[in-house]
Amino acid sequence: MSSRLPILLTTLVVLLSLFAGCTAIPQNDLPLYQRSMHIPDEATRQAILSKASLEIREVPGAVPVRVLYLRGTPYEMGFQHGALLEEDVRAMYRNTLGKVKLMVQEDMMDEIYDLMAPYIPLEEQEEMRGLAHGAGVPLKVVHWVHSIPEVSEFKGKKQFGRGFEALSCSNVAAFGGATADGELYHLRVLDWARNLGIQQWPTILVHRPDEGNASVTFAYAGFIGSVAGMNDEQMTFGEMGYGNPPGESLEGVPFPFLFRRLMRESSSLEDVTRMLKEATRTNSYVYVMGDAKAPPGDKSALLYITDRGRVLSFAGNTLLKDEREKGDTYLPIDDLVYGGAKGEVLYEELKKHHGALSPETFKIITPTVALKSNLMNVIMKPAAFEVWLSNATLESGPGGMASAQPWLHLDFSETLRK
């Protein structure tokens, strides 16, 4: 690892906190047909775009949500994303670049991305390339934006002056006797950098690749990585940051791309466990994964503690205690796996609603466990491919938190059901 990296990381996040506003995106004046090896002419471009579609879903009082239905090769799906949301992608990048002032320290983000690049799946590399070409932005800008989530979880953030505070999230997977109808539900509470402003562009990406599982990713315009999602194998995926044990590194597969691979290639929790162990991991995370088609019992969902050197898994009705991290103890609850920043509050709420957990009760629980940085919340019912989503606004106080916003219901059964 470069000896300059801690200094570079410190500079990155100090800039993130100190600067606001907009900046110009670096320009690449080459036309698409010179940049792309896949699109030689306008007819090919139109044929690729004809495979995709865009919906704008609105609920009164909330930020409209873009739903992109993508189909084809990784490159084609990235191109569709960039072309159909070109203005939103460029606006999101201008906003983000303005706050981190990447134009001032370009070599910093180039170096960070280079550490991760050898471990990023080829599919995601090609999707980012297509995204750059579709939106008409330089590929390096796409790389920079996709580096930020992993950097924000790196142990070096403790060295940062003002800026990124250490944050966590919450995840719950409930099934069997814990839920009102016996079905699996997954609540993912995303608490992360609300002051970055990306909540202006909430985007759901529905990937239908030529090879691999179809999936739904809950993200933002211009970002192809996943921090929460669901695939057509009736599986759910959620992530939380978790401490700073020794050995954290940026030389590995960033978790948003690891999640994309898991959604694309796994059909069971056994697949997930194997792939997590095989991956070259980076920082310390907790993952909650569910499988609605698994036989009834405590294997319907698992909570994983992962870091550079280990993968631990915990089933429902299990005392979760990690000897490496003081204070991280979660009491067992039947037919549940859970974890979060407000662990004790979450435990009490889940016990109170045990046996009656449903989308409506999860909507009640969410505000009690969300942090002030609450950016997005998702409730997934994978057996029916249903989703309930709330997204933060730009209001800076508690009223702008995602947990204070109306919920949008979406049904992906026609798209994902095999």
Question: Does residue 243 come out as left (phi exceeding 0), alpha (psi in the -120 to 50 range) or beta?
Answer: left
292, 297, 299, 302 alpha-carbon torsion, rounded to 10°: 80
More confident residue, 73 or 18: 73
So what's the pLDDT on residue 157?
45
So what's the pLDDT on residue 193?
85
Contact 137, 90 (CB under 8 A): yes
> What does the pLDDT look like over 321-354, one tens digit per residue?
887 765 578 999 999 999 998 999 999 999 999 9
- Lowest-confidence region among 33-47, 63-77, 164-178, 353-367: 164-178
Which amino acid is located at 347 in the chain? Y
Contact 99, 22 (CB under 8 A): no
Domains and CATH numbers, the chain: 170-416 (3.60.60.10)
Given CA atoms 380, 227, 376, 303 in this order, what sign does their dihedral have? positive
Average of per-residue pLDDT across 16-22: 43
Does this model's pTM top 0.75? My answer is yes
Contact 74, 209 (CB under 8 A): yes
- Lowest-confidence region among 157-171, 246-260, 361-375: 157-171
Reported residue count of the chain is 418
Neighbouring C-alpha atoms within 13 Å toward the C-beta of 92 = 23
- Lowest-confidence region among 172-176, 198-202, 317-321: 317-321
